[in-house]
Structure 1
Amino acid sequence: VMVATVPLFAMCFSRLFGIQTRWIEWVGIAVGLVGIILLNSGGHLGGNPWGAVMILIGSLSWAFGSVWGSRITLPSGMMAGAVEMLTAGAVLLVASALSGEKLTAAPTLQGFLALGYLSLFGSVIAINAYMYLIRNVTPAIATSYAYVNPVVAVLLGISFGGESLTSREWLALGVIILAVVLVTLGKYLFPAPPDVKPCQ
């Protein structure tokens, strides 16, 4: 639910950076946030307050970086994503050392394969696709993944994990999909009125 605030923050930062936003994008972001809350309302939505604050700060930072990244010159090709991941890796290694984390046992083959999968698909491919999006589409569209990811996760759970959904959860998925349609296709569904200038 906290990560789903990224598109909302991105829209706010878009206004700050002078990026034009459309009313249909604001509607789509609001609908998507409602859908995410509805999808997660089966639990108690409780947790560590400091953890929630840290996630919110992370979401705020990610949204700011996404909008800012669309306004500045970044390295071409895959270098922008590589710099981001190397920097994050270095920071996390320092944080791990300071907090006293230690590897207590060697990972299994399954663990290495899982790490390889996440490195390739979750980092290399995903981050470069995201870098392409923030350069070529509006921040609202680029950050709409925050609504798509839970839908994909739920559908994978149904397909491969034997999970089942309640009627409320199906409704939530429908609301989220509607939000993504509004954000991504809103300019076609609700085109702006033509700018007619009087003849001189």
Structure 2
Amino acid sequence: MPTVALTPTTTRLSPLLLACLASTWFVWGSTYLAIKWALVSFPPFFQMGTRFVAAGLVLGAFARWRGARWPDRAQWTSAFILGALMLGGGYGATAFAQQSISSGLVVAFIAVVPAVVALFELPYGVRPSRLETAGIALGLVGIVLLTQGEGFGASAAGLVSMAIACTAWCAGSVWAKHGLPGGRKLELAPGAAGYASQMLAGGVLLLALSWGAGEQPTLPPDPRSLACWFYLVVAGSLIGFSAYMLLLQRTSTALASSYTFVNPVIAMVLGVTVGGEVVGAGEMLAAGIVTASVVLLLAGRR
């Protein structure tokens, strides 16, 4: 895994890639409710920053123990660019939105990621098929309907935050695979050292945002919030995010983004049954339309 440059799409998934898909599908689907509960004691940027710094330190120590070389200057530059987009913009804005929007609605909004990824890949010569085009159009219709619901209508700041989160995450995902507009490739250090550098870079940037926003965690933290924070470090970052970056390197961007098909179902079920959240019928319909758009996108890229 020398770089995150474009590599041939895997035609037959290995057990490792299947495990990575399962991690992004099921583990990530449960993290949105965990983020919501962790917000009780840990403000959004502080929560995300400490989470990724902790995960980056653990993963970096593991990589060094395995004899991996530490990233050079160019690899650190790539780590900061991708960390700023995918972790700072993607995770930071998502956590900020969850202060005013339910976890189920947040992940339903994120289901439009494959459509936005397809648009970001157009400058690289990756043209959507007819099914993909239909999926993009249907996804945009679903998002428009979703933003008209009571949940998003009550929080303009949450809506804007989710738009920023999706755009930043998609830009980072596409640029990690194809390079920056203009042709410059983004090269992370090989393997775990590369993932660790990205987590550390993004975590430091998020902590800087936390300091600038004047965030203050609640000490001592609520026990459930602290447990959720540890869950996010281990399951969400060390396992889930590392699995996603590996999928970006070894499979297509569309397959790596297929977690958006499963995450809305898991997040909404957990949010309603465990988290006590309320999702209206109109918002459920909109989420279903967005999910159908993802099915079309994946079918178009088989």
TM-score bracket for this pair, using the shorter chain length: 0.7 to 0.9
Matched, 1:45 2:185: no
SS across alignment from 1:78? helix
Alignment partners' CA distance in 2, 1:122 and 1:57: 20
Match of residue 85, structure 1, among 199, 202, 205: 199
CA contact (8 A) 2:174 2:253 kept: yes
TM-score normalised by the chain length of structure 2: 0.51
The correspondence of residues 96-107 of structure 1 with structure 2, limited to 5 A, is 96-107=210-221
In 1, Cα distance between equivalents of 2:158 and 2:151: 16
C-alpha distance in 1 between matches for 2:158 and 2:271: 26
What's the counterpart of residue 56 of structure 1?
163
Q: Distance in 1 between matches of 2:147 and 2:162?
A: 16
Task: Please report the RMSD computed on the Cα atoms of aligned residues, expressed in angstroms.
Answer: 3.2
2:250 aligned partner: 136
Q: Which moved more, 1:109-118 or 1:136-145?
A: 136-145
Label 1:165 to 1:89 Cα distance change in 2 as closer, same or farther (>3 A): closer
- State whether residues 28 and 182 of structure 1, in contact with CA within 8 Å, keep that contact through their aligned partners in structure 2: yes
Instruction: Choose which of 172, 175, 180 in structure 1 pairs with 2:294.
Output: 180
Higher alpha-carbon deviation: 130-139 or 9-18: 130-139
SS in 1 for 2:219: coil
User: Cα–Cα, structure 1 residues 95 and 29, in superposed 2: closer, same or farther, change >3 Å?
Assistant: same
Q: Which has the larger radius of gyration?
A: 1
Q: Within 2, Cα distance between the matches of 1:55 and 1:125?
A: 23
CA distance in 1, matches of 2:213, 2:273: 38
Deviation larger for 143-152 or 22-31: 143-152
Structure 2, unpaired ranges of 5+: 1-107, 179-184
Decide which of 233, 237, 240 is 1:119's aligned counterpart. Answer: 233
Instruction: Identify the range of structure 1 (108-117 vs 94-103) with the bigger mean alpha-carbon deviation.
Output: 94-103
Q: Which residue of 1 aligns with 2:122?
A: 15
Cα distance in 2 for residues equivalent to 1:82 and 1:40: 35
Aligned to 2:223: 109
Q: Does the 8 A contact of 2:131 with 2:296 survive in 1?
A: yes
- In the TM superposition, what is the alpha-carbon distance from 1:10 to its structure 2 partner? 1.6
TM-score, normalisation: structure 1: 0.73
Structure 1: unaligned runs, 5 residues or longer = 189-200
Q: Label 1:121 to 1:55 Cα distance change in 2 as closer, same or farther (>3 A).
A: same
User: What amino acid is the match of 2:298?
Assistant: T
Distance 2:194 2:129 in 1: 28
What is the one-letter code of the residue matched to 2:174? V
Number of positions where the alignment pairs a residue of Structure 1 with one of Structure 2? 188
CA offsets per residue over residues 147-182 of structure 1, 9 Å max, x none?
543322112234445678665455445434422322
Give the counterpart of 2:141 among 30, 34, 50. Answer: 34
2:177 corresponds to which residue? 70
3-state SS of paired residue (2:128) = coil
Q: Aligned to 1:102, what secondary structure does the other structure show?
A: coil
